[in-house]
Amino acid sequence: MSRRKTTKKAADAATGEFERAELAADFIFSKTSLRPSIALVLGSGLGAFADEFSDAVKIPYAEIPHFPRSTAVGHVGNLVIGNVDSIPVAGMQGRVHLYEGYSVKDVSFPIRVFARMGVKAVILTNAAGGIKHEFTQGRLVVIKDHINLQGANPLSGPNDERFGPRFPDMTVAYDRRFREITVGEGNRLGIGMYEGVYAAVAGPSYETPAEIRYLRAIGADLVGMSTVPEVITARHSGIRVLGISCVTNAAAGILDQPLNHMEVLETAERVKGQFIGVLKAVIPRLVAAIA
Ligand code: HPA
């Protein structure tokens, strides 16, 4: 991308993000009469959950004004608005990542759109590498806090007060009540779920063993390449956040074997049923909590 283009893009982002989000929200509302208060970002492999929504409309990202298009394998690229147990929900089948070449503002634009749609809670899901020894392949972990090592913040640049304040608080970015509900529902379903700290890196190369030792030393339990820009953007607008990671692999250097994306996708696929079970159990409870 040329320097001039980058500068123009930055200027657009500063002046029109609110209007662009409104345009996208209006477009989405023209396709459905449902008005979800909760939205889900379905990461690697989990997009299938949105195929189970009833009374659903499926809108390809490419049709939604200003929406980024996903290029990552396992990220279909549809926004599905439908019902889960008669509760209206918005489900993103896949997200975009910094490593695809998108800006951090593009990555979090869908959350801006959710804010304009009146969404009050988001469930962000992802695949992550397990750093803490108990976080073995296939485990589901509730994110309790994060460390942003992506070198970018979606709120950089002029602040639009219509979204939220200049300096949003991140002391409890991951809603306490949502976490409690999720760990409780996990136990009820016989899935031991723990809480952990998620470190976000830019990717796309996986970490080195030395980087994983560093991440462990600074307090990270999980590592991944997404979610944090969405969390910051959601909190900026007062949207309550639940984050759940599927540990798809032991982080680099923990086991004496190389990492590969196939392993990530295979684990996500294997755990999908369990993960969807947790989502179905928590959605009504979160919606009751925000009512
Ligand atoms: N590192 C970073 N991102 C990831 C990993 C990992 O080990 N697994 C799934 N996403």
| Tens-place pLDDT, residues 27-57 | 999 999 999 999 999 987 898 999 999 999 9
Closest residue to atom 5 of ligand 1, CA basis:
129
257 confidence band (pLDDT: 50, 70, 90): confident
Query: Does 264 have pLDDT greater than 90?
Result: no
Report the distance separating Cα 180 and Cα 286, nearest Å.
Answer: 10
Global pTM reads 0.92
Residue 249: CB within 6 Å of ligand 1? Answer: yes
pLDDT tens digits for 166-219?
Answer: 999 999 999 999 999 999 999 999 998 999 999 999 999 999 999 999 999 999
pLDDT tens digits for 124-172?
Answer: 999 999 999 999 999 999 999 999 999 999 999 999 999 999 999 999 9
Residue 224: CB within 6 Å of ligand 1? Answer: yes
Over its C-alpha atoms, the chain yields an Rg (Å, rounded) of: 18
What is the domain extent for residue 73? 3-290
- Ligand 1 pocket test target in 147, 206, 208 with most atoms within 8 Å of CB: 206
Amino acid (1-letter code) at residue 133:
H
Number of domains the chain contains: 1
Sign of the torsion angle spanned by Cα atoms 154, 233, 140, 194: positive
Report the distance separating Cα 42 and Cα 20, nearest Å.
Answer: 23
Q: Torsion-angle region of residue 85: left (phi > 0), alpha (psi -120 to 50) or beta?
A: left
126 - beta bridge partners?
245
Report the distance separating Cα 251 and Cα 140, nearest Å.
Answer: 15
pLDDT tens digits for 57-68?
Answer: 999 999 999 999
Report the distance separating Cα 152 and Cα 208, nearest Å.
Answer: 21
Q: How far is the CA of 194 from the centre of ligand 1 (A)?
A: 18
Residue 268: CB within 6 Å of ligand 1? Answer: no
Please work out, in degrees rounded to the nearest 5, the angle formed at the alpha carbon of residue 155 by the alpha carbons of 168 and 202: 115
Q: Kindly report the backbone phi and psi dihedral angles of residue 39, in degrees, each rounded to the nearest multiple of 5, phi listed first.
A: -130, 150
Cis peptide upstream of residue 204 (ω within 30 degrees of 0): yes
Q: How far is the CA of 269 from the centre of ligand 1 (A)?
A: 15
- Token code pair at residue 128: 């992550």
- Ligand 1 pocket test target in 264, 265, 270, 271 with most atoms within 8 Å of CB: 264
For a pLDDT cut of 70, what percent of the chain falls above it? 93
Report the distance separating Cα 215 and Cα 266, nearest Å.
Answer: 25
Residue for token pair 């294997």: 270
Closest residue to atom 6 of ligand 1, CA basis:
129
The CATH number linked to 81 is: 3.40.50.1580
Residue 128: CB within 6 Å of ligand 1? Answer: yes
Return the active site residues: 44, 75, 97, 99-100, 127, 225-226, 249, 261
